[in-house]
């Protein structure tokens, strides 16, 4: 089944913040980098019914379900250039002024053409 047109139609702009890990270059520590992108994702608040499908009881209706098409691209806010990106666990999503952390990935590419993620709202 092909859902990419439906996902594109229902997508909204969000910020995606990706952080790379720091590392040792010999004896010297090199800090990781933070890159912010503007991407279009289909964003839905979790419903009580959808929460039932996730174990651990950690999700609430303030958390998000995100859907992306295959071949996701985003605008790198530092360079202004479009780049191919992949959402990964621990990436941060900024939506409607709140920050969320990507916690789960459900690939739907065997029978469809999209990826689904769950993002937990971060409490300051």
Over the stretch 90-116, which tens digit does the pLDDT of each residue have?
A: 999 999 999 999 999 987 877 778 889
What's the whole-model pTM score? 0.86
114: domain range?
Answer: 4-22+29-121
pLDDT the model gives residue 8: 81
Alpha helices in the chain (DSSP H): 4-9, 48-51
Partners of 117 in the beta sheet? 66, 105
CATH at 67: 2.40.10.270
Tally of domains within the chain = 1
């Amino acid at each position: 089944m092909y859902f990419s047109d439906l996902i594109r139609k229902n997508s909204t702009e969000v910020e995606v913040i990706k952080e790379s890990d720091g590392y040792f270059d010999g004896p010297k520590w090199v800090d990781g980098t933070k890159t912010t992108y503007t991407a279009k994702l289909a964003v839905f608040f979790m419903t009580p019914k959808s929460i039932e499908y996730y174990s651990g009881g950690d999700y609430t209706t303030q958390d998000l379900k995100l859907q992306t098409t295959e071949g996701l691209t985003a605008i790198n806010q530092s360079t202004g250039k479009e780049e191919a990106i992949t959402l990964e666990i621990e990436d941060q999503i900024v939506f409607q002024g709140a920050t969320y952390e990507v916690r789960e990935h459900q690939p739907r590419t065997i029978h469809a053409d999209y990826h689904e993620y769950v993002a937990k709202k971060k409490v300051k």
